[in-house]
């Protein structure tokens, strides 16, 4: 296995899956100042995207009324699933369901099922990516791992989300939480409007109404990408396990560790 200078190799012993050798490349941590700048940029893109999508959702109301995408709650469930598969992520579609609700394009039940569909679709994306990886790397070992992770992700999401969705839907229809009024501080709203409201107004004035929602979705994807760069990265030095002298390492743990902790 080829490795670049500074990289580290790890051997993972499998129980049900074959053994696999991994090469972890060194990761350079971004400076704190750069991460703060990226955080502000990501926040600005996020706020701008929500404002643009809200304006675009209001413009889409006449086009979505009676359409196959929003004619009932099952349709919006499929819309959330399909949207997550198209953008390869569930979070932007979950945010889209809330902006469509705020813009009056869908009702509460449809927003709930669209959000559920986005989570199920995101788990399905993991399975598809794992299957594509396995097909493209036929000659490499450990091809079962990504597919197994994808299947496990889809099954766990279905097992947890589907029963919770039934309970949540019943609570939503009964209006159990209608008495809760969760709001944002006016000072915080004013601050975000002053900092980023101009970008929303600029985009709304420039783009046609039909292009606002997809443009906002694109900005939201870029914003999430920026947020990913703010989060700390896990490098090989953080995954390295140093063994004490005289210990014998197995694939999962060392003999010096109690079996109950392995």
* pLDDT (0 to 100) of residue 250: 40
Given a cut of 50, is residue 124 above it in pLDDT?
A: yes
- Residue predicted with more confidence, 133 or 164: 164
pLDDT on residue 185: 64
Q: pLDDT value at position 89?
A: 84
Which of the four pLDDT bands, split at 50, 70 and 90, describes residue 20? low
The pLDDT value given to residue 150: 83
**Least trusted range by pLDDT, from 114-118, 140-144, 196-200:** 140-144
- What per-residue confidence (pLDDT) applies to 251? 40
Q: In this prediction, what percent of the chain has a pLDDT beyond 90?
A: 21
> What is the reported pTM?
0.68
3-state helix, strand, coil in the chain (%, to 5): 65, 5, 30
* pLDDT given at position 2: 54
Residue 249's beta-bridge partner residues?
A: 254
d(CA 205, CA 224): 24
What is the pLDDT confidence band of residue 21, given thresholds at 50, 70 and 90?
low
| CA dist list (Å): 40 to 8, 46, 47, 194, 224 | 34, 10, 11, 14, 12
**Measured distance CA(91)–CA(50) in Å, rounded:** 13
pLDDT digits (tens, 9 = 90+) for 223-248: 989 988 887 765 444 444 444 444 44
Is the CB of residue 220 less than 8 Å from the CB of residue 49?
Answer: yes
Decide if pLDDT at 88 tops 90: no
Tell me the per-residue pLDDT of 189-208, one tens digit each, with 9 for 90 and over: 667 777 788 888 899 999 99
- pLDDT tier, 179 (very low <50, low <70, confident <90, very high otherwise): confident
Label residue 91 by pLDDT band (50, 70, 90).
confident
């Amino acid at each position: 296995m080829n490795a670049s200078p500074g990289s580290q190799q790890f051997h993972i012993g499998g129980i049900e899956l074959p053994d696999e050798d991994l090469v972890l490349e060194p990761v350079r941590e971004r400076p704190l100042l750069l991460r703060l700048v990226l955080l502000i940029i990501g926040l600005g893109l996020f706020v701008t995207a929500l404002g643009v999508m809200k304006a675009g959702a209001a413009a889409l109301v006449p086009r979505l009324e009676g359409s196959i995408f929003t004619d009932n709650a099952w349709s919006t469930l499929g819309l959330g699933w399909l949207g997550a598969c198209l953008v390869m992520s569930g979070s932007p579609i979950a945010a889209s369901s809330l902006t469509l609700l705020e813009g009056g394009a869908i009702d509460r039940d449809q927003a709930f099922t669209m959000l559920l569909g986005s989570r199920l679709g995101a788990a399905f994306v993991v399975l598809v990516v794992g299957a594509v990886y396995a097909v493209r790397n036929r000659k490499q070992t450990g091809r079962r791992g990504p597919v197994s992770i994808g299947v496990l992700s889809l099954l766990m999401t279905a097992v947890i989300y589907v029963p919770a969705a039934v309970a949540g839907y019943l609570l939503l229809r009964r209006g159990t939480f209608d008495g809760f009024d969760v709001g944002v501080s006016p000072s915080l709203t004013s601050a975000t409007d002053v900092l980023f409201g101009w970008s929303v107004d600029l985009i709304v004035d420039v783009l046609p109404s039909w292009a606002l929602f997809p443009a906002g979705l694109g900005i939201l994807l870029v914003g999430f990408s920026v947020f990913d760069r703010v989060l700390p990265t896990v490098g090989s030095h953080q995954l390295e396990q140093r063994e004490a002298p005289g210990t014998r390492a197995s694939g999962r743990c060392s003999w010096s560790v109690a079996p109950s902790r392995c």
